[in-house]
Amino acid sequence: MRFLLALVGLAALVVVALVSLGMLKIDTKAGSLPTLSVNGGKAPEVSANMATVELGTENKTIEVPTVGTTTKTISVPTLKVNKPVSADGNAVTTQ
């Protein structure tokens, strides 16, 4: 790897020396970028039918361990997911 880097550096020094001594002349001409024109087109249309999520609580009676076992009513979280409905009123299914 070092050898290749040294070789590239040596080649660059040779080119600089040839240009400075007038033995190598590099002529350049101004260039221009190509012209580009974009007409028409339309962005894609996207519609999404998403599920709704309802989060709430309801009271349930469960056994809570203590020194002795007693039954208590506490509020526990609930989660309800309503699947999206298509235009014809049927539930959307995934495969």
Q: Are 90 and 79 in contact (CB under 8 A)?
A: no
Three-state DSSP at 87 gives: coil
**Contact by Cβ (8 Å): 57, 74:** no
Look up residue 27 and give its amino acid: D
Please report, rounded to a whole number, the percentage of residues in the chain having pLDDT higher than 70. 92
* Closest to 28 measured CA to CA, from 19, 37, 36: 19
Q: How confident is the model at residue 10 (pLDDT cuts 50, 70, 90)?
A: very high
Rounded to whole angstroms, the maximal C-alpha distance in the chain is: 104
Residues 25-60: tens digit of each pLDDT: 888 888 888 888 888 888 888 888 888 889 999 999
Residue 93 clears pLDDT 80, i.e. is over it: no
Residue 61 pLDDT > 90: yes
Element housing 77 (H / E)? strand 69-82
